[in-house]
Amino acid sequence: MSRLLCPLLFVWLGFSSAIWAHEIRPAYLQIDQISPSNYDVLWKVPSANDAVPDIEPQFDSTLSLQEQGGPRLLAGFVVFRYRLSGDSGLLGTRVQISNLALTTIDVLVNLNLLDGSKQSFLLHPTDNAIEVPRVPGKWTVVQTYIRLGIEHILLGIDHLLFVLALIILVSGWGNIIKTVTAFTVAHSITLSLAALGHAHVPGPPVEATIALSIMFLALELLRKIEGKATLTSRKPWLVAFTFGLLHGLGFAGALAEIGLPQTEIPLALACFNIGVELGQVAFVAVMLLLIGVLRRRTNWSLALQRLPAYAIGSVSAFWVVERTLAFAL
């Protein structure tokens, strides 16, 4: 299977390019209730090359929206703050994002109420409005968090690169299924523990170590190409499970930024996890299909077989340095 590394890498790059064609950074609308008739509103829009999409939240005519200070630039985003007021409140009213259909941007809406309850919605260019329910329905939670889970894994290039390296390293359908299952079980455990507050590890070190796990697999690829026995080839499920625990903490960090609706925490957590698994299964299925198609190509030289391993190792090494500096300095 190592002979397939080079063509598969080019397919991977094409897949990544298609993903990045969609704006992977969602806009973010945070609404915090501060009194029965007043809300603090944070509106964060991704920007590129000083260009800011002409999109903005629009609320019911019974509500008044006033800007609080000017816009601020923050790490690739433009941030606006508003005060939303209205005697009837926000529940039961319509929230819409103007001009969203003209973009490729998703919008995550988080609503925090005085009673401690939370509601989350995901708006899209083809579905740019939501009526805020007075009592959040379970089906809304299911749809929102499954989609968030799928989008997170499919846009998480580092997680997918780890999975890709794993399935290339492992030989045999049985071993592949065991390995992917071990990875799934492991990251489900730590995702659940962290999301429920039973485990906490700072995000930046976790992200740096995830990059290190990818670099480890790149080295394993090189050893396998050279005909050496590797830990991953001998016990792939053990490597997948061990690093899966780590990747689960990375998923939990993303989920912490999104937030969980307080009245439906178990359901939202389960649906996010299901979404992650659905995205992962889809990715693995596509990669295995491509491996099957490319299996006839056996004329790759040793140098060409090594090239993808060096590419994966170089990218992951860059991430290790970048992410380590992010919390070390």
- Considering the domain architecture, whether residues 70 and 165 belong to the same structural domain is answered as no
- Domain boundary among the residues 111, 135, 159 is at 135
Q: Tokens in use for 103?
A: 């973009």
pLDDT tens profile 220-274: 988 888 888 788 888 889 999 999 999 999 888 877 766 777 667 888 889 999 9
Mark which of 110, 135, 160 sits at the end of a domain: 135
Of 135, 166, 197, at which residue does a domain stop?
Answer: 135
The total of other beta-carbon atoms located within 10 Å of residue 201's CB is 15
* Same domain, yes or no: 86 and 228: no
| Residue 302 located in a structural domain | yes
Do 124 and 181 fall within a single domain? no
Residue 222 lies in a domain: yes
Mean pLDDT of the chain: 83
The answer to the question of residue 16 being in a domain is no
Six-digit token string for 328:
């070390």
Q: What residues contact 295, with CB distance under 8 A and at least 6 apart?
A: 4
30 has which bridge partners?
A: 42, 110
Same domain, 173 and 310: yes
Residues 176/177/179/180 CA torsion (nearest 10 deg): 110
In a domain, 21, yes or no: no
In a shared domain, residues 119 and 74? yes
Residue 95: give the domain boundaries: 27-135
pTM confidence score: 0.71
CA dihedral 324, 8, 154, 314 (to 10 degrees): 10
Q: Fill in the DSSP letter of residue 84.
A: E
- 41, 99: one domain: yes
**Tens digit of each residue's pLDDT (9 = 90 or more) over 179-197:** 989 999 999 999 999 888 8
**Residue holding tokens 């000017």?**
70
Q: Is 12 part of a structural domain of the chain?
A: no
How many distinct structural domains can be found in the chain?
A: 2
Whether residues 214 and 94 fall in one domain: no
Contact 68, 95 (CB under 8 A): no
Beta-sheet strand order (sheet of 94-98): 56-58, 94-98, 129-131
Residues 268, 305 share a domain: yes
- Name which of 94-103, 115-124, 170-179 the model is least confident about: 115-124
Distances (CA, A) of 219 to 208, 212, 268, 312: 17, 11, 37, 9
Distance CA 63, CA 90 (A): 8
My answer on whether 250 and 155 are in the same domain is yes
SS3 category, 46: strand
Q: What's the token pair of residue 307?
A: 């090239």
For the chain, the straight-line distance linking the first and the last C-alpha, in angstroms and rounded, comes to 41
122 and 238 inside one domain: no
Tell me: do 52 and 180 sit in the same domain: no
In the block, tokens 């800007």 appear at: 67
Question: How many CA atoms lie less than 13 Å away from 39 in the CB half-sphere?
Answer: 24
- Assess whether pLDDT exceeds 70 at residue 21: no
77 falls within a domain: yes
Amino acid letter, 311 = A
Supply the CATH number for residue 56's domain: 2.60.40
Residue 227 included in any domain: yes
Are 162 and 233 found together in one domain? Answer: yes
Q: Flag whether 140 is in a domain.
A: no
Q: What is the pLDDT of residues 102-143, one digit of tens each?
A: 988 889 888 888 877 778 788 989 999 999 888 766 787 888
